[in-house]
Every structure is written in C-alpha cells, then in structure tokens.
C-alpha cells in the first residue's frame, strides 16, 4: 500500500532530482515514481498506528493526518534529503500560539515556529531507527 493510498486520491509522487523537476499528479496506487516509496509507506503506517483518533486524507498533494478534523501532520514528499514530516496545528496559523507549549523529549523536531516543526527521514533505515520516538511524538502532538 502506498503512503496516501486513499480511494480515488491522487498526489504528486515524483521527486525532482538532479535538476529535473517533474510536475503533475501521479496515481496513488503503488507510488511507482517515488524513490522513497518504502519509507513513505512505513511512516504512514506509523502515524496511523500512533493514535486511534488519527485519520488521513490527501492535502497539498501528500498524505495529511488529522485528529478531530484538524490537520496535524503532513508529509512533504519532495524534500531533497528524504521524507519530511511537518508537524502543525491545522492549515491556518493559530493565533493562540503564544499559549501553545509542546515539549519534544525525543529531540527529533526541528522547530520552524513556536507551533510548527519538521522531522526528516533520510531513508527507510532512518525511519526504522526513529520509529518508536516518532510514534510517541506523533501521539503527543495530535493530542496537544
């Protein structure tokens, strides 16, 4: 199963590398063009298994995971150094961010702002090595 194998969903599974930028939407089934297919599938299963309230849809041409109807974690499939998981608090900036506090015990998060951070997985081995910490992080984030 592909990372965003949602019924009738389509997203860009191509990764512009070596100066080649491909555009458009590829079929979700099988993610045939993604060099990170196995990593994406592995991380997708990890996120979906992190909390029973987590659901998935395709947004911004990539798998996005929701809790309570709000996007909380989205994959960036075109990251040059692997697969990037973006931790956020919905599609729009929250104005209560001064009140938002989150403690990253894992040290995996690279903070972009006070309420948005990323984790990059270089490959499948990296995803497997970080899986336990990542699942704990996702579970905490979606419930924060």
Q: Where are the domains of the chain?
A: 35-142
Over residues 26-30, the mean pLDDT reads 38
Q: What's the confidence (pLDDT) of residue 12?
A: 39
CATH 3.90.1150 fits 35-142, yes or no: yes
Q: How far is CA 122 from CA 23, 43, 66, 88, in A?
A: 22, 12, 24, 21
CA atoms within 13 A on the CB side of 98: 1
pLDDT > 80? residue 55: yes
* Residue among 91, 86, 116, 120 at smallest CA distance from 102: 116
What pTM does this model have? 0.73
Distance CA 42, CA 100 (A): 29
Q: What is the pLDDT of residues 58-114, one digit of tens each?
A: 987 899 999 999 999 999 988 778 999 999 987 666 555 556 678 888 999 999 887
Give the list of residues 6+ apart from residue 140 with CB closer than 8 angstroms, or none. Answer: 102
Top pLDDT among 48 and 105 is at 48
Q: 10 Å Cβ neighbour count for 125?
A: 10
Percent of the chain with pLDDT over 90: 51
Q: What's the confidence (pLDDT) of residue 91?
A: 67
Q: Are 62 and 77 in contact (CB under 8 A)?
A: yes
Residues found in the chain: 144
Q: What's the confidence (pLDDT) of residue 79?
A: 75
């Amino acid at each position: 199963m592909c990372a965003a194998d949602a019924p009738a969903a389509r997203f860009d599974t191509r990764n512009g590398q070596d100066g080649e930028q491909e555009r458009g939407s590829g079929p979700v089934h099988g993610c045939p063009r993604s060099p990170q297919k196995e990593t994406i599938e592995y991380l997708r299963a990890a996120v979906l298994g992190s909390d029973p309230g987590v659901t998935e849809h395709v947004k911004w041409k990539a798998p996005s995971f929701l809790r309570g109807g709000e996007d909380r974690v989205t994959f960036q499939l075109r990251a040059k150094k692997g697969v990037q998981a973006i931790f956020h608090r919905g599609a729009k900036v929250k104005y209560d961010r001064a009140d938002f506090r989150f403690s990253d015990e894992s040290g995996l998060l690279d903070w972009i702002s006070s309420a948005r951070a990323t984790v990059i997985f270089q490959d499948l081995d990296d995803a497997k090595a970080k899986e336990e910490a990542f699942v704990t992080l996702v579970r905490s984030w979606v419930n924060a």
